[in-house]
Structure 1
Amino acid sequence: MMGSSPSLPARKIRNLSDSTGFSTEQIEILHRRFLHLTDGKSTMSKSSFDNIPDLDNNPIKSRIVNAFFDGRNLGLQSNETVNEITFENFLSTLTFFQHVDNHHPKEELEYCRTEKLKFLFRMYDTNGDGKITLEELREIVDELLSKKSKTDKTSSIADAAMLEAANICVGEMEADQLYEAITFHDFLQIMQDLKIESKMHVRFLQMDTTAMCK
């Protein structure tokens, strides 16, 4: 039938459901969306994300997109970037955006929270050295402000954020103390009150896939 899309084998869908936590129905929908984004190809490039309107207004769109191609999120040993990802890669990264409610066991909720925060931390730790430096923090603020020409404002906000991070993680700083970067341990302290379990979700992937569902 014209406009139809190839479906995944039932066994593969079940295996993906077991490994990712997505329901079989969700996997089928996401597979159709994957094919919609790639024009039916079996692999996806970064340019495919240009077809997601909800991402266009996101100030950290590039970081979100890059996360799907970051080796650290794909089970690789380094932070190298890959050029193409498969549907399985796409789905495994989407697991970080799954909504988790409070009905899950405490241990599972804590694990999910930590994994989401690791993913978020990696988005900001662009060079993969395990730390968010002041320079990386300035880049984040710059993107959030979307005003790259106003470097003074960016620097002052980033400097204040780094100082606040220092106060949270090591207490009041002495005049001669230097807080160089935010480690993941520090990041956990800073984000301890954030309900990350429900903040990260897949809403940005909503799109009209009618053509792919016929």
Structure 2
Amino acid sequence: MGNNPSMLTQYDIEEVQEHCNNLCGVSLSFFCDYAAKFCLDVNQQEIVSLYQRFCQLDRNAKGFISADEFMSVPEFAMNPLAQRLLKMVDGLNFKDFVAFLSTFGPRASIEQKIGLIFKVYDSDGNGKVTFNDILEVLRDLTGSFMSDDQREDVLTQLLQEAGYTMDSCLLLDDFIHIFANSDMKMEVEVPVD
């Protein structure tokens, strides 16, 4: 796939759709168990729009987007979790870029969205989220608005309400159990020119 939006062919579009349908075979392993069929429904115009945006971000036409290029997006750079997200998005090629963004689409399953959230908390990638992992994310999100003691108290209470303790190691299934019944909204609309 070239980095010129006009070079995106019908074959390329179909290849991106197929790639998203086979997410388990790519480096985005956190989608593996709960891959949604989002990209089956992505229309060609959405893929072309995403490709144009990808090319704008890929300033050096390398075929992937670096961490610095992601940080050039003000909404991304201002996100308090930007550094955690960078670990997931640094070096994405176009196909993986679409697969990653599909998590924020309205057709993505709740399990796919929770899988992304889990990955944000599981910063060391060991498949477990500890009390301290969650505390670090809370620290990133709340900054100086809460003290460490306040964060610990809130987190302890939330874990207890969900049936867990400070010593619990949460797995992806635990996150699904906790979040599946919530009214979580994690959607971004893809603008189509």
For the aligned pair, the TM-score class normalised by the smaller chain equals 0.7 to 0.9
C-alpha distance in 2 between matches for 1:6 and 1:147: 47
Tell me if 1:182 matches 2:189: no
C-alpha separation in 2, matches of 1:43 and 1:49: 11
List gaps (5 residues or longer) in structure 1: 70-83, 101-108, 168-172, 207-212
Q: Is residue 46 of structure 1 aligned with residue 67 of structure 2?
A: yes
2:141 to 137, 144, 149: 144
The 3 A distance-change label for structure 1 pair 6 and 51 is: farther
In the TM superposition, what is the alpha-carbon distance from 1:94 to its structure 2 partner? 1.4
Of the candidates 78, 89, 99, which is equivalent to residue 96 of structure 2? Answer: 89
Tell me the CA shift for residue 121 of structure 1. 1.1
Q: 1:90 offset after TM fit, Å?
A: 1.1
Gaps of 5+ in 2: 21-38
Match 1:24 to one of 44, 47, 52: 44
What SS class does the counterpart of residue 128 from structure 1 fall into? Answer: coil
Larger Cα Rg: Structure 1 or Structure 2?
A: 1
Q: CA deviation at 1:86?
A: 1.2
Asked if 1 retains the 8 angstrom alpha-carbon contact of 2:105 and 2:187, the reply is: yes
User: What SS is found at the alignment partner of 1:166?
Assistant: coil
Identity of aligned residues (%): 21
- CA RMSD for the aligned pairs? 2.8
- What's the TM-score once normalised by structure 1's chain length? 0.67
Give, as a single letter, the amino acid of the residue that structure 1 aligns with 2:129.
I
1:67 Cα deviation from its structure 2 partner: 2.3
Contact kept, 8 Å, 1:166 with 1:179, in 2: the verdict is no
Q: 2:106 aligns with which of 84, 99, 104?
A: 99
Name 1:130's counterpart in structure 2. Answer: 127
SS of 2:7's equivalent?
Answer: coil
Alignment partner for residue 78 of structure 2, among 45, 53, 57? 57
Aligned residues: 169
What is the TM-score when the length of structure 2 is the normalising length? 0.73
**CA–CA separation in structure 1 for the residues paired with 2:95 and 2:15:** 11
How far is 1:47 from its partner?
Answer: 0.9
Asked whether the 8 Å contact 2:5–2:51 carries over to 1, the reply is no
- List structure 1 runs of 4+ shifted beyond 4 angstroms: none
Aligned to 1:37: 57
Structure 1 letter corresponding to 2:156: D
Counterparts of 1:127 and 1:165, CA distance in 2: 24
> Does the aligned pair in 2 maintain the 1:165–1:182 contact within 8 Å?
no
Greater length-normalized contact order (CA 8 Å, ≥ 6 residues apart): 1
